[in-house]
Structure 1
Amino acid sequence: MDIGHRLRTIRKKRGLSQRELATRAGLTNGTISLIEQNKTSPSVASLKSLLDAIQVSMAEFFATLEESSKSKYFYTAEEFTEIAPPDLDGPQAQLLSLRQLGNAQEHALQLLHERYAPGADTGPELLSHDAEEAGVIIRGQIEITVDDAVDTLGPGDGYLFNSQLPHRFRNTGTEECEIISACTPPSF
């Protein structure tokens, strides 16, 4: 997916200049320009800030089209939509993967298959959105910050919290962490 082009299209559709979007999202005008030209890739938290500023959820931004005339119940692994922005700089590529099942805008639930390489995180800025989220760690370990609480969870452990609380995910371990998570309503 061409994140820069999609962001530019939505920004213009909303009648916002790069400068206005930058101000609303707490970023620099130059950063917006670089993202829209695909010369840099935003962190998950930065992209979330940008999308919040234009009132678009991550689910909507990365929505895949489902045929409205026929319900779809089953998805192959290849049909999941990657909603973590790709890192265009190379060495950080594939550190974080957030794969969404189906088109979350068509459902009341957003389901993600998450993978965090050692050292990967959702970014230095804490995330916040209108929903509740929960997940179960399948393998590896993940440090989760929710408001002022921090804990490291491993296989079989889970979490459940109000997503309006500032939160962050970070793999502090030595192996990849895999999580199955859900968010309702879809707002990430």
Structure 2
Amino acid sequence: MSERETPWDAVGERVRELRGAAGLTVRELARRIGVSASHVSQVERGIGSFSVPALYAVAAELGVPMHDILDPQAPPAPPVAPALAPGGGDLVSAGIVQRAPDHPSIKLSSGPRWSRLTAMGEPDAEFLEVVYAPGTDAPAEHIVHQGREYGVVISGRLSVELRGEATVLHPGDSIVFDSAIPHRFWNSGDEEVRAIWFVRDRKANDPVPHA
């Protein structure tokens, strides 16, 4: 299955645009997300890429949903879904169905490949296919961000660690947790891991989980 991969030079251009609009220097954005200024500069020039934790941190600092960075060329989602004509209509044009070759995807630094499974960005959620290459070590960084995650493994065996407790998810296993809990994923097996992931953004008035 071929997909529409987002090149990192397009991502970098979008990050530079958003950073400028926010009035942040390269050095200040780097300080806020915990990476070097040279790393941010490399990403903005299309010769570097962010890790999963860094990408979440960038989106949070720049005040944009993740899909705005994942697929910067996509039009914004309309506030109301397009209506279908009586008796049917073109589900693809209406943004209801997305064909497999049209999934925008991006390869994260030393991490998984994300493919967005919605035709347009959802305002409060991310619906993704996540693919982990085999034979990878546990990442040094834990991921922490706002939201709640729901995942199910389709193939392979995915190692999961939440707040120091680790387990392995097998095909058909599912997981639900609050994204504010430090977490990380990796694939130490010899088979590619495919999983479907749904991340719901947290609203300001949502209850905060107990740490």
Deviation at 1:129, TM superposition (A): 1.8
Out of 124, 135, 156, which is 1:140 matched to? 156
Q: Is the contact between residue 147 and residue 165 of structure 1 (CA under 8 Å) also seen in structure 2?
A: yes
1:65 matched to 2:102? The reply is: no
Once residues 163 and 122 of structure 1 are traced to their aligned partners in structure 2, the CA distance between those partners, rounded to angstroms, is 18
- Structure 1 SS opposite 2:55: helix
Counterpart of 2:91 in structure 1 is none
1:50 aligned to 2:45?
A: no
Name which of 75, 79, 83 aligns with 2:102.
Answer: 79
Per the TM alignment, residue 185 of structure 1 is displaced from its structure 2 partner at its CA by 2.8
Deviation at 1:9, TM superposition (A): 0.8
Distance (Å, rounded) in 1 between the aligned partners of 2:138 and 2:11? 17
Find the aligned partners of 2:51 and 2:40 in 1 and give their Cα distance. Answer: 12
How far off is 1:49 after superposition?
Answer: 2.3
* Aligned residue number for residue 169 of structure 1: 185
Give the length in aligned residue pairs: 179
Mean Cα deviation higher: 22-31 or 56-65 = 56-65
Bigger radius of gyration, 1 or 2? 2
Aligned partners of 1:136, 1:152: CA distance in 2, in Å?
Answer: 12
Structure 2 CA distance for partners of 1:24 and 1:54, relative to 1, 3 Å? same
Distance (Å, rounded) in 2 between the aligned partners of 1:118 and 1:25: 28
Aligned to 2:194: 178
Amino acid at match of 1:158: S
Q: Is there any run of 5+ residues in structure 1 with no aligned partner, and where?
A: none
Task: Spell out structure 1 runs of 4+ moving beyond 4 A.
Answer: 120-123
Paired residue for 1:25? 33
User: Structure 1 length normalisation: TM-score?
Assistant: 0.83
* Cα distance in 1 for residues equivalent to 2:138 and 2:43: 17
Go from structure 1 to structure 2 and tell me whether the alpha carbon gap of 1:122 and 1:163 turns closer, same or farther (over 3 Å shift): farther
- For structure 2, the 5+ residue unaligned runs are 1-5, 83-93, 204-211
Closer, same or farther in 2 for the Cα pair 1:66/1:78, shift >3 Å? farther
Q: Is 1:16 aligned to 2:24, yes or no?
A: yes
Give a deviation string over 1:145-186, Cα, whole Å, max 9, x none.
112211111111111101111111101111001101111138
Residue range with higher mean Cα deviation, 115-124 or 42-51 = 115-124
Distance 2:121 2:138 in 1: 20
User: Post-superposition shift, 1:124?
Assistant: 2.7
Letter matched to residue 20 of structure 1:
E
TM (normalized to structure 2)? 0.75
C-alpha distance after superposition, 1:12-64 (max 9, x if no partner): 11111101111111111111111111122222222222222323332232243
Root-mean-square deviation (Å) = 2.4
Q: How many percent identity over aligned positions? A: 28
Whole-angstrom distance in 2 between the partners of 1:17 and 1:45:
20
Q: Distance in 2 between matches of 1:115 and 1:27?
A: 25
Change (3 A) 1:161 1:109: same
Instruction: Tell me if structure 2 keeps the 8 A contact 1:131–1:162.
Output: yes
